[in-house]
A and B are shown apart, each in its own frame.
Chain A
């Protein structure tokens, strides 16, 4: 069991698929944010700095933010469905991706800023917008992609499996009908 799942009961079982939901919302929200960056011309300077065509940078950003969306689902798990707090978690995640991606990682590798002036501000705004959309829309998408009760695995069986794994219990064994019959054929059940 991961620490995050244990922490405050965020275990997403039995129905939720937070990584899938996060990836889907992440890509959708990234499309909106990427459009903002592309339409304002704010993608050109970073594209030049990296040596990519603007279109490729925009596509790369959408894929990266899709992965970041899946990571958001993996970190927040069940808590990402919080309709009151989701917007804030997403906003924070958007800030984090901005700080770690275009700022820290790119500037470190290139040894110079990737953008400046109003375009740099739009880059930040686009990440915050992406995060806001991610956090706000996540619960709604989650409810569309989750398993049905019929598809869900048995929690009892899962619990027994976990217990056996955690406590290194002796192997389970399967009872055969003849177990209940004595050597003389008498029914012992």
Chain B
């Protein structure tokens, strides 16, 4: 798939452009100007040319159809290629069809009329021998078409917040499940993938980017689950669409999830459920809302009660990334850009994770928690004290939500920063007093953009793989002392992704040999994703080709490579669960930077 487009928007925009053209043409012809009459040209090709009531509707239908086709072409091949306003994009695109019409279509249409009521003379092979007026009028008409069509074709993906996107399914209510169905312990290495399920809002909460909808999961969910099994994968990171299920306090629509959970169970897929993936339902607004933690905990409780056979949970996905992109970078949800909002979001997310954990344990004491975070590392570009200090600060900030979740004391300067920006001492003490479940695994995600250099202009830029997962995960492992899972990785160049997979895998192998108990590995995600090349910051519809399968559900090289890897290593990666905080740490490579506390 080249791009996800909105067919109905493109058709509407193209038809509107064609009508705008026709109105202009009629007005100018009424004024006596020799404007090219394309509707008459089309109409008289098919219908009787003796009366406008006969040829105009036919001609206009063909003209509108051609306008719609050009607009769909625009949507697939041109939209968003230029970083210009939509009207300008449409205008530039229109140059192509205009030239085709001048050079090819018009003279050929005239030839097709040769034995009928041709409205004009044949203008030669490339339509330029009949004077400049008609070619000029075609260019003017297409300019208007392009501006109108371009202005109307915007936001091809996503939907207004509040619009229901889930398919209407008739699923039987889930069977409660027997206790022995539960995977009470880790019985082997977890080979996993995930369904990309981010659902942040943009535009002040008015526009929802639902990756499950954009990637076609709501349509192809059954096939997606079958593909998971076809590759031999046994664990699936899955974030049920919170904004669709959680309709209000105490109100849930489980229809879709019932069907999916039933199919997962039938296929023997063990889901790792995450309760919040970069967004909240519209009625909860955003992560600045102090009600978010309690409300999410209530949702988690209802979920666990309904699906008691599920035992693996990620309370909140990538809390640091969520807080940063929502409240500091201004991309998602509240779209704030200040430290106070970041601290509020980070505290709310961490509090939600703690409460969700506690709620799950009430219903399912043997639950296994995989607390994942995107691994980050900041490197100063140069021996500049200010930049070194910035890198040092960011290398601490990345730990804040996980530190709160794991009830760790914050380093003095970071604690002061949190207090200065709105965290109360009561909040802080509350976090420190919460028990951390023994059965918790540290999930560490890693992509090739996670390691960043802070440049002289104070901007953090991705610098590719500097130290790699081995070194970065060592920092997280030393800090939290839990069993580890590689919970996300992918690579945006499909031709390099098989090698990236193996590089990540060898990292896992080596660090296990060094003594770090790594219990799982995840290629994220099952299919390609939409607009992750721009961090889902705008509704463009571009495909990010990172999946084991593309959006047509055709296998990619990395999908085959993962299948071969799993076949090679299944049963050869023994796991001996070591729950709780590990006392003895293996000797690992020295840490880069100054991330120790």
Residue B496 is within 8 A (CB to CB) of chain A in the complex: yes
Residue B28 is within 8 A (CB to CB) of chain A in the complex: no
The answer to whether A159 touches B76 (Cβ under 8 A) is no
B259 proximity list for chain A (CB < 8 A): none
Query: Could you tell me the distance in whole angstroms from the C-beta of B78 to the nearest C-beta in chain A?
Result: 12
The answer to whether A79 touches B560 (Cβ under 8 A) is no
How many Å lie between the Cα of A5 and that of B72 in the bound state? 22
The answer to whether A156 touches B502 (Cβ under 8 A) is yes
Query: Could you tell me the distance in whole angstroms from the C-beta of B233 to the nearest C-beta in chain A?
Result: 15
The answer to whether B3 touches A8 (Cβ under 8 A) is yes
B542 proximity list for chain A (CB < 8 A): 8
Residue A81 is within 8 A (CB to CB) of chain B in the complex: yes
How many Å lie between the Cα of A99 and that of B106 in the bound state? 12
How many Å lie between the Cα of A156 and that of B502 in the bound state? 7
Residue B558 is within 8 A (CB to CB) of chain A in the complex: yes
Contact string against B for A residues 104-135, beta-carbon threshold 8 Å, 1 for contact and 0 otherwise: 10011000010111101100100000000000
Residue B100 is within 8 A (CB to CB) of chain A in the complex: yes
The answer to whether B498 touches A6 (Cβ under 8 A) is no
Number of A-B contacts (CB under 8 A): 119
**Residue from A11, A104, A107 in contact with B494 in the complex, judged by beta carbons closer than 8 Å:** A11
Known: A78-B550, A99-B100. A116 touches B112 (CB 8 A): yes
**Residue from B2, B7, B493 in contact with A6 in the complex, judged by beta carbons closer than 8 Å:** B493
The answer to whether B111 touches A155 (Cβ under 8 A) is no
How many Å lie between the Cα of A66 and that of B295 in the bound state? 61
The answer to whether A104 touches B104 (Cβ under 8 A) is yes
Contact string against B for A residues 53-82, beta-carbon threshold 8 Å, 1 for contact and 0 otherwise: 000000000000000000000000011011
The answer to whether A9 touches B528 (Cβ under 8 A) is yes
A78 proximity list for chain B (CB < 8 A): 550, 552, 554
Contact string against A for B residues 520-550, beta-carbon threshold 8 Å, 1 for contact and 0 otherwise: 0000000010000000000000110100001
Known: A92-B73, A124-B108. A85 touches B1 (CB 8 A): yes
B111 proximity list for chain A (CB < 8 A): 113, 115-117, 120
**Residue from B7, B552, B557 in contact with A83 in the complex, judged by beta carbons closer than 8 Å:** B552
Q: How many residues of B contact A (CB 8 A)?
A: 42
How many Å lie between the Cα of A160 and that of B543 in the bound state? 26
Residue A28 is within 8 A (CB to CB) of chain B in the complex: no
Residue B115 is within 8 A (CB to CB) of chain A in the complex: yes
Residue A46 is within 8 A (CB to CB) of chain B in the complex: no
CB-nearest residue of chain B relative to A81?
Answer: B552
Query: Could you tell me the distance in whole angstroms from the C-beta of A164 to the nearest C-beta in chain B?
Result: 11
The answer to whether B2 touches A85 (Cβ under 8 A) is yes
Known: A120-B108, A156-B502. A6 touches B495 (CB 8 A): yes
How many Å lie between the Cα of A120 and that of B116 in the bound state? 12
The answer to whether B561 touches A156 (Cβ under 8 A) is yes
How many Å lie between the Cα of A160 and that of B502 in the bound state? 10
Query: Could you tell me the distance in whole angstroms from the C-beta of B489 to the nearest C-beta in chain A?
Result: 15
Contact string against B for A residues 137-164, beta-carbon threshold 8 Å, 1 for contact and 0 otherwise: 0010000000001001011101110110
Q: List 30 A-B contacts (CB under 8 A).
A: A1-B495, A8-B3, A9-B494, A9-B556, A11-B494, A11-B545, A11-B556, A13-B556, A81-B550, A83-B552, A84-B7, A85-B2, A88-B69, A88-B72, A99-B100, A103-B108, A104-B104, A113-B125, A115-B111, A116-B111, A117-B111, A117-B114, A120-B111, A120-B114, A121-B45, A149-B560, A155-B558, A155-B560, A155-B564, A162-B495
- Excluding A15-B554, A85-B5, A117-B115, 12 further A-B contacts by CB distance (< 8 Å) are A11-B556, A13-B556, A14-B556, A15-B555, A84-B1, A88-B76, A103-B108, A117-B112, A139-B552, A155-B561, A156-B561, A162-B495
